[in-house]
């Protein structure tokens, strides 16, 4: 089933230039439908997230977008090219399966990864040392990969993904296995890449990374994309919630509260009225409700995910996030 974007299309800064455009991607493995009609549009310069639980089809989708595997149906274009391999030098890809030669020195590993994208080895070593110094890893340049901690080795592989200065950076579950400090460093790296003009796409099953970083997301569940668009538009699918505390417990002012208002302890909770909150406030003041506090809370991306993908997918996502935090 082809999930048309319609009003979910996501544009950035009005440029209209797309780094990636995919329509109706379908992939089967041994007769099993892994990806079912995925549509995604990613504008140049954006930070874009592919959000969903493990097994949802995130990695298969990324691999089809990059031309690592071909779709059974549908089409994809990267910077206007329908053969991504032809512009491999413009792309940096960090797969979910980390892998570096254990006996290779860190600086050589970075240069080697750059060479795979057409960068001369000498230039790769020079840029690699600059990157290691920038990321406070210069002391590890001559160490073998087997001598590095897991986090350091992952950072070296990330730098190898970036050494040829790609215009498109694709990261498959890049935060997996990183401690909180290295997750923060990676978030800063992603923001810097976008500030420098690169397009960054990453897959994740951890909602808060997508919420903090992304301008646009594709929510994927069961191989389908029920939503692809801006994070703000996803959150706006759920009305903002109002929390109200009053001094008075009863009175005629209660009639001014929306029909969905519910009382929990000292607070009332209800959806933000369509006409705004000002008319209700006037009624509360005139009715001497005695407003002690009032806050308007916008829905988070997690709530939007539940509304869009369903409770089961959200529960799976939450379980994976909790498991990740316990590692």
pLDDT in tens, 170-189: 999 999 888 888 899 999 99
Place of tokens 């008319």: 279
Rounded (10°) angle between helices 150-162 and 121-134: 130
Residue 7: pLDDT over 90: no
CA-based nearest residue to 186, from 173, 196, 198: 173
State both tokens at 227.
Answer: 């939503």
pLDDT of residue 321: 58
Residues of the chain with CATH 3.40.50.300: 6-235
Confidence of residue 8 (pLDDT cuts 50, 70, 90): very low
Do 114 and 160 meet the contact criterion of CB atoms below 8 Å apart? yes
Neighbours of 68 (CB within 10 A): 14
Residue 10: pLDDT over 70: no
Residues with Cβ < 8 Å from 289, sequence gap 6 or more?
A: 246, 247, 248, 251, 253
pTM as predicted? 0.80
Higher pLDDT, 7 or 98: 98
Confidence of residue 61 (pLDDT cuts 50, 70, 90): very high
Residue 325: pLDDT over 60: no
State both tokens at 189.
Answer: 């790296």
Please give the mean pLDDT across all residues of the chain.
88
CA-based nearest residue to 141, from 150, 118, 127: 127
Neighbours of 45 (CB within 10 A): 20
Q: What is the mean pLDDT of residues 61-82?
A: 94
Residue 135: pLDDT over 60: yes
Segment 18-31, tens digit of pLDDT: 999 999 999 999 98
Tell me how far apart the alpha carbons of residues 72 and 144 are, in angstroms, rounded to a whole number.
41
Higher pLDDT, 299 or 157: 157
pLDDT of residue 179: 85
Residues with Cβ < 8 Å from 117, sequence gap 6 or more?
A: 88, 89, 91, 92, 164, 166
Percent of the chain predicted with pLDDT > 70: 90
Higher pLDDT, 295 or 320: 295
Tell me how far apart the alpha carbons of residues 155 and 113 are, in angstroms, rounded to a whole number.
13
Confidence of residue 14 (pLDDT cuts 50, 70, 90): very low
Encode burial over 213-246: b for 16+ CB neighbours within 10 A, e otherwise.
bbbbbbbbbbbbbbbbbbbeebbeebeebbebeb
CA distances 44 to 148, 195, 222, 325, Å, are: 35, 12, 27, 32
Percent of the chain predicted with pLDDT > 90: 66
**Homologous superfamily of the 6-235 domain (CATH):** P-loop containing nucleotide triphosphate hydrolases (3.40.50.300)
Confidence of residue 103 (pLDDT cuts 50, 70, 90): very high
Residue 266: pLDDT over 70: yes
């Amino acid at each position: 089933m082809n999930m048309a974007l319609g009003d979910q299309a996501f544009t950035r800064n009005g440029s209209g230039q797309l780094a990636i455009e995919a329509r109706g991607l379908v992939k089967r493995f041994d007769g099993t439908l892994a990806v079912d009609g995925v549509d995604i549009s990613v504008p140049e310069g954006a930070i874009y997230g592919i959000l969903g639980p493990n097994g949802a089809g995130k990695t298969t989708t990324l691999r089809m977008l990059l031309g690592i595997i071909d779709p059974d149906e549908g089409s994809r274009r990267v910077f206007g090219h329908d053969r991504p391999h032809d512009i491999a030098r413009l792309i940096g890809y960090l797969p979910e399966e980390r892998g570096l030669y254990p006996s290779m020195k860190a600086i050589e590993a970075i240069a080697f990864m750059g060479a795979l994208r057409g960068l001369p080895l000498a230039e790769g070593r020079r840029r690699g040392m600059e990157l290691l110094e920038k990321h406070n890893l210069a002391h590890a340049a001559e160490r073998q990969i087997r001598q590095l901690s897991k986090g350091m080795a992952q950072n070296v592989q990330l730098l190898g993904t970036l050494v040829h200065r790609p215009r498109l950076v694709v990261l498959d579950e890049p935060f997996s296995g990183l401690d909180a400090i290295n997750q923060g460093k990676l978030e800063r790296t992603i923001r810097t890449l976008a500030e420098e003009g690169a397009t960054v796409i990453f897959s994740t099953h951890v909602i808060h990374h997508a919420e903090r970083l992304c301008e646009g997301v594709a929510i994927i569940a069961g191989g389908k994309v029920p939503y692809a668009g801006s994070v703000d538009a996803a959150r706006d699918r759920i009305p903002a919630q109002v929390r109200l505390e009053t001094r008075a417990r009863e009175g005629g002012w209660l009639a001014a509260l929306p029909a969905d208002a519910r009382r929990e302890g000292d607070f009332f909770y209800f959806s933000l009225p369509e006409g705004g909150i000002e008319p209700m406030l006037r009624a509360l003041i005139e009715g001497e409700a005695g407003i002690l506090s009032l806050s308007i809370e916008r829905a988070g991306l997690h709530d939007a995910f539940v509304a869009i993908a369903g409770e089961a997918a959200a529960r799976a996502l939450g379980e994976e996030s909790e498991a990740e935090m316990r590692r």
